[in-house]
Amino acid sequence: MVGYWLILAVAVVTEILWALSLKYIQQHPGPWPVAASLGLTLVNMALLSLAMRGIPAGVAYAVWTGLGAVGVAICGALFFGDQLNGGQMGAMAVVIAGVVGMKLATG
């Protein structure tokens, strides 16, 4: 079971990288950034699919999207200068609490 959660964690990281790659493409258009984004899409979907072999689909998807969204918001602020306000940070804390709750309720 731990292996599936590890796979899901890597899928979350690839989800974050994929979303950030879209922003990067806007700033640095070209074939290589687009190819990297497409590659991340394939890896991301494959990893999520593998994780769902051992984690219920709804739980895996909630964790993937929730942590992916929080990760993109934080990395967008760090690497692209996106602004985060207190309300957004509070909402991210709620998302993280929800993800932790999903994990604890799943086992």
pLDDT tens figures, 41-90: 999 999 999 999 999 999 999 999 999 999 999 999 999 999 999 999 99
Q: How far is the CA of 71 from the CAs of 10, 27, 41, 89, 107, in angstroms?
A: 12, 20, 16, 12, 23
Q: What does the alpha-carbon distance between residue 83 and residue 93 come to, in Å, rounded to a whole number? A: 16
Question: Is 85 strand, coil or helix?
Answer: coil
What would the two tokens of residue 67 be? 């942590």
Q: What does the alpha-carbon distance between residue 33 and residue 11 come to, in Å, rounded to a whole number? A: 19
2 falls in which pLDDT band (50, 70, 90)?
Answer: confident
